Chains A and B, each alone.
Chain A
Amino acid sequence: MSLLHIKNLTHYFGGLCAVNDFNLELESGELLGIIGPNGSGKTTVFNLITGVYRPTGGSIRFRDREISGTRPANITMLGIARTFQNIRLFNNLSVLDNVRIAHFGRTHYSPLEAIFHIGRYQAEEERITDHSLDLLDRFGLADHAETEAKNLPYGMQRRLEIVRALATNPSLLCLDEPAAGMNPSEIQKLMDFIQRIRKEFSLTILLIEHQMRLVMGICERLKVLDFGATIAEGAPEEIRANHKVLEAYLGEEAAE
Protein backbone atom coordinates (compact mmCIF):
# COMPACT_ATOMS: atom_id res chain seq x y z
CA MET A 1 0.00 0.00 0.00
CA SER A 2 1.50 3.30 -1.06
CA LEU A 3 1.68 6.19 1.34
CA LEU A 4 -0.07 8.64 -0.96
CA HIS A 5 -2.35 7.54 -3.75
CA ILE A 6 -3.82 10.22 -6.01
CA LYS A 7 -6.20 9.27 -8.76
CA ASN A 8 -7.72 11.45 -11.48
CA LEU A 9 -7.26 14.57 -9.44
CA THR A 10 -8.88 17.51 -11.21
CA HIS A 11 -9.53 21.04 -10.06
CA TYR A 12 -11.29 23.96 -11.69
CA PHE A 13 -11.26 27.59 -10.59
CA GLY A 14 -14.50 28.73 -12.14
CA GLY A 15 -13.96 27.92 -15.81
CA LEU A 16 -10.20 27.61 -15.60
CA CYS A 17 -8.77 24.11 -15.30
CA ALA A 18 -5.83 24.33 -12.91
CA VAL A 19 -5.17 20.63 -12.45
CA ASN A 20 -6.12 18.09 -15.07
CA ASP A 21 -6.18 14.40 -14.25
CA PHE A 22 -3.20 14.27 -11.92
CA ASN A 23 -2.18 10.80 -10.78
CA LEU A 24 0.43 9.76 -8.27
CA GLU A 25 1.55 6.71 -6.35
CA LEU A 26 4.03 7.70 -3.70
CA GLU A 27 5.81 5.06 -1.62
CA SER A 28 7.09 5.63 1.86
CA GLY A 29 10.56 7.13 1.91
CA GLU A 30 10.52 8.43 -1.67
CA LEU A 31 11.68 11.85 -2.73
CA LEU A 32 9.61 12.98 -5.69
CA GLY A 33 9.88 16.27 -7.51
CA ILE A 34 7.09 18.14 -9.29
CA ILE A 35 8.34 20.59 -11.85
CA GLY A 36 6.88 22.69 -14.62
CA PRO A 37 6.60 26.28 -15.80
CA ASN A 38 4.92 28.91 -13.66
CA GLY A 39 1.18 28.53 -13.48
CA SER A 40 1.25 24.85 -14.36
CA GLY A 41 -0.72 23.89 -11.27
CA LYS A 42 2.02 22.60 -8.98
CA THR A 43 1.09 24.63 -5.92
CA THR A 44 -2.56 23.87 -6.58
CA VAL A 45 -1.74 20.18 -6.29
CA PHE A 46 -0.12 20.88 -2.92
CA ASN A 47 -3.14 22.90 -1.88
CA LEU A 48 -5.41 20.04 -2.83
CA ILE A 49 -3.34 17.47 -0.95
CA THR A 50 -3.15 19.59 2.18
CA GLY A 51 -6.84 20.41 2.18
CA VAL A 52 -6.77 24.09 1.32
CA TYR A 53 -9.12 23.36 -1.57
CA ARG A 54 -11.64 20.64 -2.02
CA PRO A 55 -10.92 19.04 -5.40
CA THR A 56 -13.49 19.35 -8.16
CA GLY A 57 -12.88 15.72 -9.01
CA GLY A 58 -10.73 12.74 -8.24
CA SER A 59 -9.46 11.16 -5.07
CA ILE A 60 -6.55 11.58 -2.70
CA ARG A 61 -5.80 8.69 -0.38
CA PHE A 62 -3.23 8.95 2.38
CA ARG A 63 -2.44 5.71 4.21
CA ASP A 64 -5.43 4.23 2.43
CA ARG A 65 -7.77 6.87 3.77
CA GLU A 66 -9.64 9.37 1.62
CA ILE A 67 -8.58 12.86 2.59
CA SER A 68 -9.98 15.06 -0.17
CA GLY A 69 -12.36 17.56 1.35
CA THR A 70 -10.96 17.13 4.85
CA ARG A 71 -10.08 20.28 6.75
CA PRO A 72 -6.40 21.25 6.53
CA ALA A 73 -5.80 21.03 10.28
CA ASN A 74 -7.03 17.44 10.32
CA ILE A 75 -4.87 16.51 7.36
CA THR A 76 -1.86 17.93 9.16
CA MET A 77 -2.67 15.81 12.18
CA LEU A 78 -2.77 12.74 9.94
CA GLY A 79 0.84 13.41 9.08
CA ILE A 80 1.15 15.73 6.09
CA ALA A 81 3.05 18.99 6.52
CA ARG A 82 4.16 21.67 4.08
CA THR A 83 6.05 24.83 3.45
CA PHE A 84 5.06 27.66 1.13
CA GLN A 85 6.24 29.27 -2.05
CA ASN A 86 6.23 32.71 -0.45
CA ILE A 87 7.35 32.16 3.09
CA ARG A 88 4.38 32.20 5.43
CA LEU A 89 5.80 32.50 8.88
CA PHE A 90 4.03 34.11 11.79
CA ASN A 91 6.00 37.28 11.33
CA ASN A 92 5.36 39.16 14.53
CA LEU A 93 5.83 36.11 16.70
CA SER A 94 9.11 34.76 17.98
CA VAL A 95 10.93 31.89 16.34
CA LEU A 96 10.07 29.77 19.36
CA ASP A 97 6.38 30.59 19.17
CA ASN A 98 6.32 29.80 15.47
CA VAL A 99 7.43 26.28 16.29
CA ARG A 100 5.26 25.95 19.39
CA ILE A 101 2.14 26.73 17.40
CA ALA A 102 2.80 23.66 15.29
CA HIS A 103 2.16 21.59 18.42
CA PHE A 104 -1.44 22.76 18.66
CA GLY A 105 -2.98 19.50 17.56
CA ARG A 106 -0.90 17.44 19.93
CA THR A 107 -1.42 19.46 23.08
CA HIS A 108 -3.24 17.62 25.81
CA TYR A 109 -5.00 20.16 27.95
CA SER A 110 -8.45 21.65 27.78
CA PRO A 111 -9.47 25.31 27.58
CA LEU A 112 -10.50 25.17 31.22
CA GLU A 113 -7.06 24.03 32.25
CA ALA A 114 -5.65 26.77 30.06
CA ILE A 115 -7.55 29.67 31.52
CA PHE A 116 -6.79 28.70 35.10
CA HIS A 117 -3.29 27.34 34.40
CA ILE A 118 -4.13 24.17 36.28
CA GLY A 119 -3.92 20.46 35.69
CA ARG A 120 -1.83 19.35 32.76
CA TYR A 121 -1.11 22.90 31.63
CA GLN A 122 2.32 23.30 33.20
CA ALA A 123 3.64 19.89 32.19
CA GLU A 124 2.41 20.17 28.62
CA GLU A 125 3.83 23.66 28.19
CA GLU A 126 7.21 22.39 29.33
CA ARG A 127 7.02 19.44 27.00
CA ILE A 128 6.09 21.62 24.03
CA THR A 129 8.76 24.18 24.79
CA ASP A 130 11.40 21.51 25.25
CA HIS A 131 10.48 19.75 22.04
CA SER A 132 10.44 23.04 20.11
CA LEU A 133 13.78 24.20 21.43
CA ASP A 134 15.33 20.78 20.87
CA LEU A 135 14.21 20.93 17.27
CA LEU A 136 15.47 24.47 16.84
CA ASP A 137 18.76 23.53 18.45
CA ARG A 138 19.24 20.62 16.05
CA PHE A 139 19.05 23.02 13.14
CA GLY A 140 21.04 25.87 14.58
CA LEU A 141 18.17 28.21 15.32
CA ALA A 142 18.03 27.96 19.12
CA ASP A 143 20.13 31.07 19.56
CA HIS A 144 17.45 33.06 17.79
CA ALA A 145 14.55 31.57 19.71
CA GLU A 146 13.32 34.92 20.99
CA THR A 147 13.85 36.84 17.74
CA GLU A 148 10.76 37.87 15.83
CA ALA A 149 10.44 35.75 12.73
CA LYS A 150 10.31 38.76 10.44
CA ASN A 151 13.76 39.85 11.63
CA LEU A 152 15.53 36.67 10.60
CA PRO A 153 17.71 36.63 7.50
CA TYR A 154 16.05 35.03 4.48
CA GLY A 155 17.90 31.71 4.58
CA MET A 156 17.04 31.24 8.25
CA GLN A 157 13.42 32.05 7.58
CA ARG A 158 13.27 29.27 5.02
CA ARG A 159 14.91 26.94 7.49
CA LEU A 160 12.50 27.95 10.23
CA GLU A 161 9.54 27.23 7.98
CA ILE A 162 10.79 23.70 7.46
CA VAL A 163 11.54 23.21 11.17
CA ARG A 164 8.05 24.44 11.98
CA ALA A 165 6.59 21.90 9.58
CA LEU A 166 8.71 19.17 11.15
CA ALA A 167 7.29 20.05 14.55
CA THR A 168 3.92 18.69 13.46
CA ASN A 169 5.53 15.24 13.33
CA PRO A 170 4.74 14.48 9.70
CA SER A 171 5.35 11.38 7.61
CA LEU A 172 4.92 13.30 4.36
CA LEU A 173 6.58 16.66 3.88
CA CYS A 174 5.61 18.90 0.98
CA LEU A 175 8.21 21.54 0.16
CA ASP A 176 7.10 24.33 -2.15
CA GLU A 177 10.08 25.93 -3.87
CA PRO A 178 12.41 25.80 -0.87
CA ALA A 179 15.33 27.04 -2.95
CA ALA A 180 13.71 30.21 -4.21
CA GLY A 181 16.13 33.10 -4.11
CA MET A 182 19.15 30.99 -3.18
CA ASN A 183 22.63 31.04 -4.70
CA PRO A 184 24.49 27.81 -5.71
CA SER A 185 26.28 27.32 -2.39
CA GLU A 186 23.05 27.83 -0.44
CA ILE A 187 21.35 25.35 -2.72
CA GLN A 188 24.03 22.78 -1.95
CA LYS A 189 23.48 23.32 1.78
CA LEU A 190 19.76 22.95 1.23
CA MET A 191 20.27 19.66 -0.60
CA ASP A 192 22.28 18.31 2.33
CA PHE A 193 19.67 19.65 4.72
CA ILE A 194 16.83 17.91 2.90
CA GLN A 195 18.70 14.60 2.79
CA ARG A 196 19.50 14.93 6.46
CA ILE A 197 15.94 15.53 7.60
CA ARG A 198 14.73 12.82 5.29
CA LYS A 199 16.92 10.32 7.09
CA GLU A 200 16.57 11.64 10.65
CA PHE A 201 12.81 11.98 10.52
CA SER A 202 12.03 9.06 8.17
CA LEU A 203 10.21 11.36 5.80
CA THR A 204 8.63 10.98 2.43
CA ILE A 205 9.15 14.18 0.51
CA LEU A 206 7.27 15.90 -2.29
CA LEU A 207 9.19 18.77 -3.75
CA ILE A 208 8.14 21.59 -6.06
CA GLU A 209 11.12 23.39 -7.45
CA HIS A 210 12.39 25.48 -10.34
CA GLN A 211 16.08 25.23 -9.55
CA MET A 212 17.20 22.33 -11.73
CA ARG A 213 20.39 21.83 -9.75
CA LEU A 214 18.34 20.92 -6.70
CA VAL A 215 15.82 18.89 -8.63
CA MET A 216 18.38 16.84 -10.54
CA GLY A 217 20.54 16.54 -7.48
CA ILE A 218 18.20 14.89 -5.01
CA CYS A 219 14.94 13.81 -6.65
CA GLU A 220 14.53 10.13 -7.35
CA ARG A 221 11.53 10.62 -9.56
CA LEU A 222 10.00 13.58 -11.34
CA LYS A 223 6.60 14.59 -12.61
CA VAL A 224 6.31 17.44 -15.07
CA LEU A 225 3.21 19.59 -15.26
CA ASP A 226 2.19 22.10 -17.88
CA PHE A 227 -1.14 23.94 -17.86
CA GLY A 228 -2.42 21.54 -15.24
CA ALA A 229 -1.70 18.38 -17.19
CA THR A 230 1.06 15.86 -16.58
CA ILE A 231 3.28 15.87 -19.63
CA ALA A 232 6.04 13.55 -18.46
CA GLU A 233 7.23 11.49 -15.56
CA GLY A 234 10.20 9.33 -14.74
CA ALA A 235 13.78 9.46 -13.54
CA PRO A 236 15.61 12.80 -13.75
CA GLU A 237 17.90 11.65 -16.59
CA GLU A 238 14.93 10.66 -18.74
CA ILE A 239 13.12 13.92 -18.06
CA ARG A 240 16.19 15.91 -18.88
CA ALA A 241 16.14 14.69 -22.43
CA ASN A 242 12.38 14.62 -22.85
CA HIS A 243 11.32 16.67 -25.84
CA LYS A 244 7.96 17.80 -24.46
CA VAL A 245 9.56 18.98 -21.25
CA LEU A 246 12.17 21.00 -23.11
CA GLU A 247 9.41 22.57 -25.15
CA ALA A 248 7.45 23.58 -22.09
CA TYR A 249 10.46 25.06 -20.38
CA LEU A 250 12.44 26.29 -23.37
CA GLY A 251 13.79 29.55 -22.03
CA GLU A 252 14.30 28.34 -18.49
CA GLU A 253 16.29 25.25 -19.45
CA ALA A 254 18.62 27.34 -21.56
CA ALA A 255 19.28 29.65 -18.65
CA GLU A 256 20.32 26.85 -16.29
Chain B
Amino acid sequence: MSYFFQQSLNALQLGSIYALIALGYTMVYGILRMINFAHGDLFMVGAFFCFLAATVLHFPFLPTLLVSMAGVAFLGVIIERLAYKPLRQAPRVSAVITALGVGIFLENLILAIDPYPKHVPLLIGNTTWDLLGVSVSSLQVLIIALSLGLMLMLDFIVRRTMVGIAMRAISWDKTIVPLMGVPVNLVISITFALGAGLGAAAGTMYGLAYPVIDPYMGIMVGWKAFISAVVGGIGNIRGAMIGGFILGTVEILVVAYFPSTYKDFVSFALLLVLLIYRPYGILGKPQTQKI
Protein backbone atom coordinates (compact mmCIF):
# COMPACT_ATOMS: atom_id res chain seq x y z
CA MET B 1 0.00 0.00 0.00
CA SER B 2 2.76 2.41 0.84
CA TYR B 3 4.39 1.35 -2.44
CA PHE B 4 1.27 2.62 -4.15
CA PHE B 5 1.45 5.98 -2.37
CA GLN B 6 5.14 6.23 -3.09
CA GLN B 7 4.48 5.72 -6.77
CA SER B 8 1.60 8.17 -6.65
CA LEU B 9 3.98 10.78 -5.39
CA ASN B 10 6.40 9.99 -8.19
CA ALA B 11 3.53 10.22 -10.64
CA LEU B 12 2.58 13.63 -9.28
CA GLN B 13 6.13 14.84 -9.68
CA LEU B 14 6.57 13.54 -13.19
CA GLY B 15 3.06 14.63 -14.09
CA SER B 16 3.71 18.20 -12.96
CA ILE B 17 6.71 18.43 -15.22
CA TYR B 18 4.82 17.01 -18.18
CA ALA B 19 1.92 19.34 -17.45
CA LEU B 20 4.13 22.44 -17.46
CA ILE B 21 5.63 21.51 -20.80
CA ALA B 22 2.28 20.44 -22.22
CA LEU B 23 0.95 23.93 -21.52
CA GLY B 24 3.48 25.35 -23.95
CA TYR B 25 2.32 23.03 -26.74
CA THR B 26 -1.31 23.65 -26.08
CA MET B 27 -1.11 27.44 -25.87
CA VAL B 28 0.78 27.71 -29.14
CA TYR B 29 -1.59 25.31 -30.85
CA GLY B 30 -4.58 27.17 -29.50
CA ILE B 31 -3.41 30.48 -30.81
CA LEU B 32 -1.66 29.55 -34.03
CA ARG B 33 -3.07 26.10 -34.85
CA MET B 34 0.50 24.92 -35.15
CA ILE B 35 2.36 22.22 -33.26
CA ASN B 36 5.65 23.63 -32.10
CA PHE B 37 7.76 20.51 -32.41
CA ALA B 38 10.72 22.48 -31.10
CA HIS B 39 9.09 23.01 -27.72
CA GLY B 40 10.63 19.92 -26.13
CA ASP B 41 14.00 21.32 -27.06
CA LEU B 42 13.17 24.61 -25.38
CA PHE B 43 12.63 22.55 -22.23
CA MET B 44 16.10 21.12 -22.77
CA VAL B 45 17.62 24.57 -23.24
CA GLY B 46 15.93 25.61 -20.00
CA ALA B 47 17.71 22.79 -18.21
CA PHE B 48 21.00 23.88 -19.74
CA PHE B 49 20.46 27.53 -18.82
CA CYS B 50 19.80 26.35 -15.27
CA PHE B 51 23.05 24.40 -15.39
CA LEU B 52 24.97 27.43 -16.64
CA ALA B 53 23.43 29.76 -14.09
CA ALA B 54 24.22 27.35 -11.29
CA THR B 55 27.75 26.37 -12.25
CA VAL B 56 29.14 29.42 -14.05
CA LEU B 57 27.28 32.22 -12.34
CA HIS B 58 26.86 30.34 -9.07
CA PHE B 59 23.32 31.57 -8.58
CA PRO B 60 21.17 30.07 -5.88
CA PHE B 61 17.88 28.43 -6.70
CA LEU B 62 15.46 31.29 -7.29
CA PRO B 63 17.66 33.45 -9.56
CA THR B 64 18.62 30.32 -11.50
CA LEU B 65 15.00 29.53 -12.08
CA LEU B 66 14.22 33.09 -13.15
CA VAL B 67 17.25 33.34 -15.42
CA SER B 68 16.35 30.09 -17.09
CA MET B 69 12.71 31.07 -17.55
CA ALA B 70 13.54 34.53 -18.85
CA GLY B 71 16.26 33.28 -21.17
CA VAL B 72 14.16 30.60 -22.78
CA ALA B 73 11.13 32.89 -22.99
CA PHE B 74 13.28 35.29 -24.95
CA LEU B 75 14.58 32.48 -27.14
CA GLY B 76 11.03 31.33 -27.78
CA VAL B 77 10.00 34.78 -28.94
CA ILE B 78 12.99 35.04 -31.28
CA ILE B 79 12.22 31.66 -32.85
CA GLU B 80 8.61 32.68 -33.31
CA ARG B 81 9.52 35.94 -35.00
CA LEU B 82 12.20 34.52 -37.27
CA ALA B 83 10.90 31.11 -38.20
CA TYR B 84 7.17 30.87 -37.53
CA LYS B 85 5.74 34.31 -38.20
CA PRO B 86 6.71 34.35 -41.89
CA LEU B 87 4.91 31.03 -42.32
CA ARG B 88 1.57 31.97 -40.82
CA GLN B 89 -0.14 32.00 -44.22
CA ALA B 90 1.92 29.17 -45.68
CA PRO B 91 0.63 25.60 -46.00
CA ARG B 92 0.85 23.63 -42.78
CA VAL B 93 3.59 21.35 -44.09
CA SER B 94 6.05 24.20 -44.02
CA ALA B 95 5.34 25.09 -40.41
CA VAL B 96 5.64 21.48 -39.23
CA ILE B 97 8.87 20.88 -41.09
CA THR B 98 10.28 24.19 -39.89
CA ALA B 99 9.46 23.40 -36.30
CA LEU B 100 11.16 20.01 -36.64
CA GLY B 101 14.17 21.75 -38.14
CA VAL B 102 14.39 24.31 -35.35
CA GLY B 103 14.25 21.57 -32.74
CA ILE B 104 17.01 19.55 -34.35
CA PHE B 105 19.04 22.71 -34.77
CA LEU B 106 18.83 23.43 -31.04
CA GLU B 107 19.79 19.87 -30.12
CA ASN B 108 22.79 19.82 -32.37
CA LEU B 109 23.83 23.32 -31.37
CA ILE B 110 24.10 22.35 -27.72
CA LEU B 111 25.72 19.11 -28.79
CA ALA B 112 28.30 20.95 -30.85
CA ILE B 113 29.07 23.44 -28.12
CA ASP B 114 29.65 20.75 -25.51
CA PRO B 115 28.59 17.17 -26.13
CA TYR B 116 29.09 15.72 -22.66
CA PRO B 117 26.13 15.19 -20.33
CA LYS B 118 26.10 17.63 -17.51
CA HIS B 119 25.47 17.22 -13.87
CA VAL B 120 23.28 19.84 -12.28
CA PRO B 121 24.33 20.71 -8.74
CA LEU B 122 21.75 20.57 -6.01
CA LEU B 123 20.60 24.09 -5.33
CA ILE B 124 18.13 23.28 -2.63
CA GLY B 125 18.78 21.38 0.51
CA ASN B 126 17.04 18.08 0.09
CA THR B 127 15.61 16.61 3.26
CA THR B 128 13.52 13.49 3.29
CA TRP B 129 10.65 12.87 5.63
CA ASP B 130 9.00 9.62 6.35
CA LEU B 131 5.25 9.97 6.22
CA LEU B 132 3.41 6.78 7.08
CA GLY B 133 5.93 4.61 5.34
CA VAL B 134 6.22 6.88 2.33
CA SER B 135 9.47 8.71 1.83
CA VAL B 136 8.82 12.28 0.78
CA SER B 137 11.63 14.56 -0.25
CA SER B 138 11.50 18.32 0.03
CA LEU B 139 12.58 18.49 -3.59
CA GLN B 140 9.52 16.54 -4.64
CA VAL B 141 7.29 18.81 -2.62
CA LEU B 142 8.95 21.84 -4.13
CA ILE B 143 8.51 20.58 -7.67
CA ILE B 144 4.88 19.72 -7.20
CA ALA B 145 4.12 22.94 -5.32
CA LEU B 146 5.98 25.15 -7.74
CA SER B 147 4.35 23.52 -10.76
CA LEU B 148 0.89 23.88 -9.28
CA GLY B 149 1.67 27.47 -8.42
CA LEU B 150 2.80 28.26 -11.94
CA MET B 151 -0.23 26.55 -13.39
CA LEU B 152 -2.55 28.52 -11.15
CA MET B 153 -0.80 31.69 -12.21
CA LEU B 154 -1.23 30.82 -15.86
CA ASP B 155 -4.86 29.95 -15.33
CA PHE B 156 -5.33 33.34 -13.70
CA ILE B 157 -3.58 35.12 -16.55
CA VAL B 158 -5.67 33.34 -19.15
CA ARG B 159 -8.98 33.86 -17.42
CA ARG B 160 -8.68 37.20 -15.71
CA THR B 161 -6.28 39.45 -17.59
CA MET B 162 -6.63 41.34 -20.85
CA VAL B 163 -3.75 39.39 -22.32
CA GLY B 164 -5.48 36.15 -21.50
CA ILE B 165 -8.74 37.27 -23.00
CA ALA B 166 -6.89 38.34 -26.11
CA MET B 167 -5.20 34.94 -26.30
CA ARG B 168 -8.49 33.14 -26.09
CA ALA B 169 -10.09 35.48 -28.61
CA ILE B 170 -7.32 34.90 -31.11
CA SER B 171 -7.64 31.17 -30.75
CA TRP B 172 -11.31 31.48 -31.62
CA ASP B 173 -11.06 33.80 -34.60
CA LYS B 174 -7.80 35.22 -35.82
CA THR B 175 -9.21 37.51 -38.49
CA ILE B 176 -11.64 39.57 -36.46
CA VAL B 177 -9.45 40.20 -33.45
CA PRO B 178 -6.94 42.63 -35.00
CA LEU B 179 -9.91 44.63 -36.26
CA MET B 180 -10.80 45.23 -32.66
CA GLY B 181 -7.55 46.91 -31.90
CA VAL B 182 -5.78 43.95 -30.35
CA PRO B 183 -2.04 43.84 -31.11
CA VAL B 184 -2.09 40.27 -32.38
CA ASN B 185 1.63 39.89 -32.92
CA LEU B 186 2.35 41.11 -29.41
CA VAL B 187 -0.14 38.70 -27.90
CA ILE B 188 1.31 35.84 -29.91
CA SER B 189 4.80 36.72 -28.71
CA ILE B 190 3.57 36.84 -25.13
CA THR B 191 1.95 33.44 -25.58
CA PHE B 192 5.19 31.98 -26.85
CA ALA B 193 7.10 33.62 -24.03
CA LEU B 194 4.75 32.20 -21.41
CA GLY B 195 4.81 28.73 -22.88
CA ALA B 196 8.57 28.73 -23.25
CA GLY B 197 9.05 30.12 -19.77
CA LEU B 198 6.96 27.35 -18.27
CA GLY B 199 8.93 24.83 -20.27
CA ALA B 200 12.13 26.28 -18.89
CA ALA B 201 10.80 26.04 -15.35
CA ALA B 202 10.07 22.40 -16.04
CA GLY B 203 13.59 22.03 -17.40
CA THR B 204 15.10 23.53 -14.29
CA MET B 205 13.12 21.30 -12.00
CA TYR B 206 13.85 18.27 -14.13
CA GLY B 207 17.52 19.14 -13.93
CA LEU B 208 17.33 19.25 -10.15
CA ALA B 209 15.29 16.08 -9.83
CA TYR B 210 17.11 13.88 -12.36
CA PRO B 211 20.44 15.65 -12.25
CA VAL B 212 22.07 14.43 -15.44
CA ILE B 213 21.10 16.40 -18.52
CA ASP B 214 22.04 15.95 -22.19
CA PRO B 215 21.07 17.65 -25.45
CA TYR B 216 18.69 14.87 -26.51
CA MET B 217 16.65 14.84 -23.33
CA GLY B 218 14.09 17.16 -24.83
CA ILE B 219 13.01 14.67 -27.49
CA MET B 220 11.41 12.02 -25.33
CA VAL B 221 10.18 14.37 -22.63
CA GLY B 222 8.86 16.70 -25.30
CA TRP B 223 6.94 13.86 -26.88
CA LYS B 224 5.46 12.76 -23.57
CA ALA B 225 4.37 16.31 -22.87
CA PHE B 226 2.95 16.58 -26.34
CA ILE B 227 1.00 13.37 -25.82
CA SER B 228 -0.25 14.88 -22.55
CA ALA B 229 -1.54 17.90 -24.41
CA VAL B 230 -3.31 15.71 -26.95
CA VAL B 231 -4.80 13.52 -24.22
CA GLY B 232 -6.27 16.57 -22.53
CA GLY B 233 -7.38 18.12 -25.76
CA ILE B 234 -4.86 20.13 -27.67
CA GLY B 235 -5.61 23.84 -27.42
CA ASN B 236 -7.27 23.43 -24.07
CA ILE B 237 -5.23 24.74 -21.14
CA ARG B 238 -6.96 22.86 -18.36
CA GLY B 239 -6.75 19.80 -20.60
CA ALA B 240 -2.99 20.11 -20.82
CA MET B 241 -2.70 20.12 -17.05
CA ILE B 242 -4.95 17.10 -16.66
CA GLY B 243 -3.21 15.33 -19.53
CA GLY B 244 0.18 15.86 -17.94
CA PHE B 245 -0.87 14.18 -14.74
CA ILE B 246 -2.56 11.35 -16.58
CA LEU B 247 0.54 10.64 -18.60
CA GLY B 248 2.78 10.86 -15.54
CA THR B 249 0.55 8.34 -13.82
CA VAL B 250 0.49 6.00 -16.81
CA GLU B 251 4.23 6.09 -17.10
CA ILE B 252 4.93 5.48 -13.43
CA LEU B 253 2.39 2.67 -13.38
CA VAL B 254 4.07 0.99 -16.34
CA VAL B 255 7.49 1.32 -14.74
CA ALA B 256 6.19 0.08 -11.41
CA TYR B 257 4.55 -3.05 -12.69
CA PHE B 258 6.20 -3.83 -16.05
CA PRO B 259 9.70 -3.82 -17.52
CA SER B 260 10.66 -0.16 -17.65
CA THR B 261 11.67 -0.31 -21.32
CA TYR B 262 7.99 -0.55 -22.20
CA LYS B 263 7.12 2.88 -20.90
CA ASP B 264 7.78 4.77 -24.12
CA PHE B 265 6.00 2.19 -26.19
CA VAL B 266 2.90 2.37 -24.01
CA SER B 267 2.80 6.17 -24.14
CA PHE B 268 3.04 6.17 -27.94
CA ALA B 269 0.51 3.41 -28.30
CA LEU B 270 -1.84 5.47 -26.14
CA LEU B 271 -1.28 8.41 -28.47
CA LEU B 272 -2.08 6.40 -31.57
CA VAL B 273 -5.23 4.91 -30.08
CA LEU B 274 -6.36 8.37 -29.00
CA LEU B 275 -5.71 9.91 -32.39
CA ILE B 276 -7.77 7.27 -34.07
CA TYR B 277 -10.75 7.20 -31.73
CA ARG B 278 -10.84 10.56 -30.00
CA PRO B 279 -8.37 12.96 -31.57
CA TYR B 280 -9.81 15.95 -29.76
CA GLY B 281 -8.84 14.53 -26.37
CA ILE B 282 -10.69 14.59 -23.07
CA LEU B 283 -11.68 18.23 -22.88
CA GLY B 284 -11.61 18.99 -26.57
CA LYS B 285 -14.53 19.23 -28.95
CA PRO B 286 -14.71 17.61 -32.38
CA GLN B 287 -13.87 20.07 -35.12
CA THR B 288 -16.25 20.22 -38.03
CA GLN B 289 -15.03 21.44 -41.34
CA LYS B 290 -17.30 23.42 -43.62
CA ILE B 291 -17.45 21.85 -47.03
Contact = CB atoms under 8 A, between A and B. Distances in A.
The judgment on whether A and B are partners is: yes
B288 A13 contact: yes
Interface string A22-53: 00000000000000000000010001000010
B288 A52 contact: no
Contacts of A52: 291
Contacts of B288: 13-14
Interface in A157-171: none
A161 to B, nearest CB: 15
B287 to A, nearest CB: 11
B190 to A, nearest CB: 32
Contacts of A43: 291
Interface residues of A, number: 5
A14 B291 CA distance: 16
B273 to A, nearest CB: 23
Nearest to A16: B288
Nearest to A43: B291
A52 B291 CA distance: 8
A165 B291 CA distance: 18
Interface string A100-128: 00000000000000000000000000000
Nearest to A84: B291
Contacts of B291: 43, 47, 52
Interface in B184-205: none
A15 to B, nearest CB: 12
Interface in A1-22: 13-14
A14 B289 CA distance: 12
Contacts of A13: 288
B19 to A, nearest CB: 29
Interface string B254-291: 00000000000000000000000000000000001001
Nearest to B285: A14
Interface string A124-142: 0000000000000000000
A87 to B, nearest CB: 14
A52 B288 CA distance: 12
B36 to A, nearest CB: 29
A51 to B, nearest CB: 11
A21 to B, nearest CB: 21
A43 B291 CA distance: 9
A51 B288 CA distance: 16
Contacts of A14: 288
A47 B289 CA distance: 13
Interface in B87-112: none
Contacts of A47: 291
Nearest to B288: A13
B202 to A, nearest CB: 36
A14 B287 CA distance: 10
A13 B291 CA distance: 12
Nearest to A47: B291
B289 to A, nearest CB: 10
Nearest to A53: B291
B227 to A, nearest CB: 27
A47 B291 CA distance: 8
A89 to B, nearest CB: 15
A14 B290 CA distance: 13
A88 to B, nearest CB: 9
B2 to A, nearest CB: 47
B4 to A, nearest CB: 41
A134 to B, nearest CB: 31
A91 to B, nearest CB: 13
A13 B286 CA distance: 11
A172 B288 CA distance: 28
A169 B155 CA distance: 58
B284 to A, nearest CB: 14
Nearest to A85: B291
Interface in B12-35: none
A97 B114 CA distance: 54
A219 B291 CA distance: 25
Interface in B232-260: none
Interface of A: 13-14, 43, 47, 52
Please give me the 5 A-B residue pairs with the lowest Cβ-Cβ distance, nearest first.
A52-B291, A13-B288, A47-B291, A14-B288, A43-B291
5 contacts: A13-B288, A14-B288, A43-B291, A47-B291, A52-B291
